[in-house]
Amino acid sequence: MTASRIEALQESSARTRSFSFGDLIHRRPETITFILLVAICVTVAVINPDFLQPSTLVDIGRASVVMGLFALGVFIILASGGIDVSFTAIAAFTMYSMTLLVQKQLPGIPIPLIIVMAILGGAVLGIINGLLVHHLNVASLIVTIGTQYLFRGILLSFIGTVWIMSLPPQMGAFGRLPLFQFEATNGATITLPFYFLVLPIAAVLTWFILNRTLMGRAIFAVGGNAMIASRLGYNLRTIHIFLFGYAGALAGLAGIIHVCANRQANPFDLVGTEVDVIAAVVLGGARITGGTGTVLGTILGVLLIVVINSVLVMVGIPSTWQRLVVGIFILLAAAFFVTRQRKR
């Protein structure tokens, strides 16, 4: 075999390997998120071995629950080509209203019923979003900006602005309920809370809806092209109601878990976390234009944001710089996925 022939074969093999990796990234954009997450964890662990201590890992898991629930709701709407920024207002409205209701009117109600009521309350507010988006025929971003101010304004004007520092006993007990406990080498007791299970359950349910039901197929069809989806027979009104109702239900669930975990109800909580949540979904591979993304990518994006924030706290970086770093990651992710799309 001639030297030129060997070089040609080597070049062809290199192109094939490059194409295979590029094709993998295109088909599974969360791959790059996973690689980036592993690279950050390995780098930080080499610099500071304390990062791999069980207490740090448990803290990361605990911090991922509320953001993860928010992110799943944002992702399912992004998959349809929309965007929702009202989820923190829905969570705040639901958690504070439920805490007051239990405290003053229903002191003996069991915690499972409180959680169900919070989910239903969030779903109702989400359905309002869905109806407005459909009937006003306005971009969901505009609608949810409006409802964000509306829900938060009603909460602060008519329900309350006072911090509730003493939760009903059943809510406080749920926040402290351990999934498992162990003692660290320094004698401290490390606890992974029971409510951590809510995130994997919600993730599996969301995955099932998107990948194993007609509604999931309809969501991605609308994200690809809403007009074509409508001509194919998909009911856009039903899809909008389901999307925003489901996202609202997750927000209500996240709100009540946030209250129980922090053991206080603050109506001003969660403001400003929208950026981190949307960043997590985008870093997980979902496009703002809709039609793409995975539940796994969303969870990886959440872990990436939580790990970045945890690392910055460990090294003493101020919170203002944390937002700068998250913003840089968003821009890099956007540039990467746009570049891949153009190459394809």
Q: DSSP string covering 158-180, please?
A: II--S-B-S--HHHHHHHH-EEE
Residues 6+ apart with CB under 8 A from 67: 273, 276, 277, 280, 302, 305, 306
Residue 21 has pLDDT above 50, yes or no: no
Confidence bin at 321 (pLDDT 50/70/90): confident
In this structure, the strands spanning 189-193 and 178-183 are: antiparallel
Enter the pTM of the model.
0.89
Residue 168 lies in a domain: yes
Confidence bin at 342 (pLDDT 50/70/90): low
Residue 103 lies in a domain: yes
Q: Identify whether the C-beta of residue 279 lies closer than 8 Å to the C-beta of residue 305.
A: yes
Q: What are phi and psi of 180, to 5 degrees?
A: -160, 155
Can you tell me the mean pLDDT for 306-328? 78
Residue 83 lies in a domain: yes
Mean confidence (pLDDT) of the chain: 86
Nearest to 92 by CA among 141, 133, 125: 125
- More confident site: 5 or 48: 48
Residue 282 lies in a domain: yes
Residue 152 has pLDDT above 60, yes or no: yes
* Residues 172-222 pLDDT 10s: 999 999 988 887 777 778 889 999 999 999 999 999 999 999 999 999 999
Structure tokens at 289: 């234009």
CA distance 171 to 259: 8
CA distance 180 to 175: 13
Q: Identify whether the C-beta of residue 62 lies closer than 8 Å to the C-beta of residue 55.
A: no
- More confident site: 334 or 143: 143
Domain that includes residue 155, residue range: 33-41+51-343
Residue 3 has pLDDT above 50, yes or no: no
Confidence bin at 45 (pLDDT 50/70/90): confident
- More confident site: 323 or 162: 162
Confidence bin at 344 (pLDDT 50/70/90): low
Residue 253 has pLDDT above 70, yes or no: yes
* Residues 73-104 pLDDT 10s: 999 999 999 999 999 999 999 999 999 999 99
Residue 208 lies in a domain: yes
Q: How many domains, the chain?
A: 1
* CATH code of the domain in which 288 resides: 1.10.3470
Can you tell me the mean pLDDT for 50-72? 90
Residue 243 has pLDDT above 90, yes or no: yes
Residue 253 lies in a domain: yes
Residue 118 has pLDDT above 70, yes or no: yes
Instruction: Determine the pLDDT at residue 167.
Output: 92
Confidence bin at 11 (pLDDT 50/70/90): low
Q: How far is CA 50 from CA 9, 55, 60, 294, in A?
A: 48, 9, 13, 32
Q: Which of 55-64, 81-90, 109-118 has the lowest mean pLDDT?
A: 55-64
Instruction: Determine the pLDDT at residue 87.
Output: 96
Confidence bin at 318 (pLDDT 50/70/90): confident
Residue 28 lies in a domain: no
CA distance 218 to 233: 10
Residue 207 lies in a domain: yes
